[in-house]
Amino acid sequence: MKMMIMKKFFAFFSLILLFYTGFAFTVITTINPYGLIIKDIVGDKAKVNVLINPGVNPHTFSPKVSDIKALMSADLIVMNGLSLEEFLIEKLKSINLKNSVLYASDTIPREILKISNPDEEHVNPHVWLSIEFLIKYIIPGIVGRLSELDTKNAEYFKKNSIHLISELEKLKKKYEEIFKDYSGKTVLVYHPSFYYFFNELGIKIISVSHGHGDEPTLKELMEIIKRVKSGEIVAIFGEKQQNIEPVKIISSQTGIYFEVLDPLGYDSKNTVELFERNFETVLEGFEKYGEK
């Protein structure tokens, strides 16, 4: 009887210990793609929370008091940088953080970042949609910071990151082959989120909008419609988190189908799935143009 009680006690104690030590630390990412990347790397070794719902436009997000409290309690905050989270920068300056902040864009050499709009000076901030940047800079940079926080799981993080990079390399190679016949073509996008994504496929983009709050005028819409009708543009893409109405108007006026891309991976379970879904959406857009 005494032995039975002791066994139950140790079983209960083990569960309690597991509960409190299950997560060595907590990571908060501002946007979902970095949440997916970190989950792919840490597995069950850390708790990962995403600040901005992937159905919400990061440019228009406004943090609540509960969001600020969550940031204050996290061990690591992973942000994109390059002014994507402008809404948060001032608030972070005004609170006392116990944690470190990692800007994913800081892992990338500044000279290789691109300006997608020649009329503006700031670089395109959507670096997480470049597989090249993820493989060479962002994932290694994240692993380095995670390993500093949790040295005992450093090898585990490294192993998972090597697997993730391998899967992304295979995906990149697969779709580069599929899209090679479209290299040099031009597509119309509402927002330049996918600039790096298309650039790596050798595909040029024309953007309806160049940034948050930059809605096209009627004159600009008519000019874009004219370019589409000329045959210069072979596919049209909107975005899940952006205003879709201008894209609908252009599509209806030109007879070219449009597809909706998702830069934040609303329904994606992991990093590879985020890219695969967007690759397939682009492919569908090209195929529908071919059927036109």
Q: For residue range 25-66, what is the model confidence (pLDDT) as tens digits?
A: 899 999 999 999 999 999 999 999 999 999 888 877 888 889
Better pLDDT: 96 or 34: 34
The CATH number of whichever domain residue 84 belongs to comes to 3.40.50.1980
**Res. 16 pLDDT band, cuts 50 70 90:** very low
> Do 109 and 199 share a domain, yes or no?
no
Tell whether 20 and 164 lie within a shared domain: yes
CA torsion sign, 201 to 202 to 203 to 204?
A: positive
Of 174, 190, 224, the residue at which a domain comes to its end is 174
Looking at 139, 174, 209, the residue that finishes a domain is 174
For residue 6, is it within any domain?
no
Least confident of 9-13, 103-107, 120-124: 9-13
Are 166 and 218 found together in one domain? Answer: no
| CA count, 13 A, side-chain hemisphere, 269 | 1
What is the band of 115 on the pLDDT scale with cuts at 50, 70, 90?
A: confident
* Residue 1 forms part of a structural domain: no
What is the H or E stretch that residue 121 is in?
none
> What is the model's pLDDT at position 129?
98
pLDDT value of residue 171: 98
Residue 158 and residue 202 in one domain: no
Strands 186-189 and 233-239: parallel
Per residue, the 3-state secondary structure of 206-266, as one string, reads: EECCCCCCCCCCHHHHHHHHHHHHCCCEEEEEEECCCCCHHHHHHHHHHCCCEEEECCCCC
Residues 156 and 184 in one domain: no
Would you put residue 172 in left (φ > 0), alpha (ψ -120 to 50) or beta?
A: alpha
Give the residue from 174, 190, 216 where a domain finishes.
Answer: 174
* Domain encompassing residue 140: 15-174
Give tens-digit pLDDT for 142-188: 999 999 999 999 999 999 999 999 999 999 999 999 999 999 999 99
